[in-house]
Amino acid sequence: MLTDEDIADRAALRSLFEKRRLNRATKEGFFHFEDQDFVVAQGRETFIAIAHDIAVALPLFLDGELDFHKFDKAMELLREAGTGPIDTLWDVGANIGSICIPALARGIIERAVAFEPEERLFRLLRANAILNGVDDRLSCVNTAIGEAAGRARLTMSDGNTGDYRLAGRQFSDDCMGEDARTSQEVSVRALDEFIDEFVPGSTLIYMDIQGYEGLALKGASELIAAAPPLVIEFWPYGMKRLESYEALCENLCSAPYSRFANLAEKEPSFQPFSKMTLDALYQQLGEGAEQFTDLLLLPA
């Protein structure tokens, strides 16, 4: 049975599509959406995204996808590694669903859990799940993932919903508008709170939370003790501001992970995992805002 919130989401979608159909300017290009709150991005899937968002909405509008090649690459590596079938995805930092929704819609996985703390993005995530017909297989949770249950301040970048992040320190070399950001208080929960829903051996955890990964893993010690396939963003700029790098090293090195692949490489392959290799990668990337990658970790 539909909740009142479901009914409101569907009414909003109908209204948005009608406005798009009647307004010729909205069909001419992304930047003609400047007087609207939302943009419709259509590719293999259809997304409602926030207008003016050049990091998420613009690539979806132009290409129909956003970073989905990374997910495809991770799944290919898992198949080559012989890990067994992955049928469930935990998408931590799901935004409006650009990873979990195509993964479900294309039949790559059967079920997904999506965690997103920001209220407007969360509502769009739920609406996009309905729009693409995967809402019966996608569980959406309106929370940030962190060390323990509580509340935290989420800072929001104007024009880049992909860089909404929990508040950290500021430095003289900040270059992503940190001093001018708005913020909202959000719920925080530990990933271990959801361990009863976790299926070992068939679940991929996909985590992109702007440098907060190490602190989130502190609240997932029980879960990662089973060493599920894990994709994390590795962004020194964000980790420096959240002082999370040592926590990332400590939690990953205490789990049974023994190999990793750098998904930014043209032909990624697994190499031995240790703190030394993480330190080397951190130094190689440096702490510039544009320098990041995504890592896939596996046990032996």
Residue 81, pLDDT score:
95
Q: Using the predicted structure, report yes or no on whether residue 161 has a pLDDT greater than 80.
A: yes
Which one-letter DSSP state was computed for residue 266?
S
Residue 84, pLDDT score:
87
Whole-number Å distance between alpha carbons of 262 and 22: 46
Q: Which domains does the chain have, with CATH numbers?
A: 4-63 (no CATH), 68-144+191-299 (3.40.50.150)
* Tokens at 289, concatenated: 């805002």
Nearest to 57 by CA among 25, 96, 16: 96
Pairing mode of beta strands 230-234, 203-207: parallel
Residue 29's pLDDT band (cuts 50, 70, 90):
low
Return the minimum-mean-pLDDT range out of 37-41, 124-128, 243-247, 273-277.
37-41
Whole-number Å distance between alpha carbons of 260 and 271: 6
> Which helix (DSSP H) or strand (DSSP E) does residue 242 occupy?
helix 236-242
Residue 239, pLDDT score:
98
Residue 2, pLDDT score:
61
Average of pLDDT values for 119-135?
98
Nearest to 121 by CA among 90, 88, 165, 152: 165
Q: Using the predicted structure, report yes or no on whether residue 116 has a pLDDT greater than 50.
A: yes
Which residue has tokens 């259509």?
Answer: 42
Q: Using the predicted structure, report yes or no on whether residue 8 has a pLDDT greater than 90.
A: no
pLDDT above 70: percentage of residues in the chain: 90
Average of pLDDT values for 214-229?
97
Whole-number Å distance between alpha carbons of 126 and 124: 5
Whole-number Å distance between alpha carbons of 204 and 75: 9
Whole-number Å distance between alpha carbons of 97 and 231: 16
Residue 95's SS3 state is: coil
Whole-number Å distance between alpha carbons of 22 and 117: 33
Model pTM score: 0.89
Residue 62, pLDDT score:
87
Residue 215, pLDDT score:
97
Which residue has tokens 């090195």?
Answer: 253
Neighbours of 37 (CB within 10 A): 11
Residue 169's SS3 state is: coil
Nearest to 132 by CA among 1, 41, 208: 41
Nearest to 191 by CA among 160, 222, 170: 222
Residue 157, pLDDT score:
92
Q: What is the mean pLDDT of the chain?
A: 92
Contact assessment for residue 42 and residue 105, using Cβ atoms and an 8 Å cutoff: no
Q: Using the predicted structure, report yes or no on whether residue 32 has a pLDDT greater than 60.
A: no
Q: Using the predicted structure, report yes or no on whether residue 129 has a pLDDT greater than 90.
A: yes
Q: Using the predicted structure, report yes or no on whether residue 20 has a pLDDT greater than 50.
A: yes
Residue 34's pLDDT band (cuts 50, 70, 90):
low
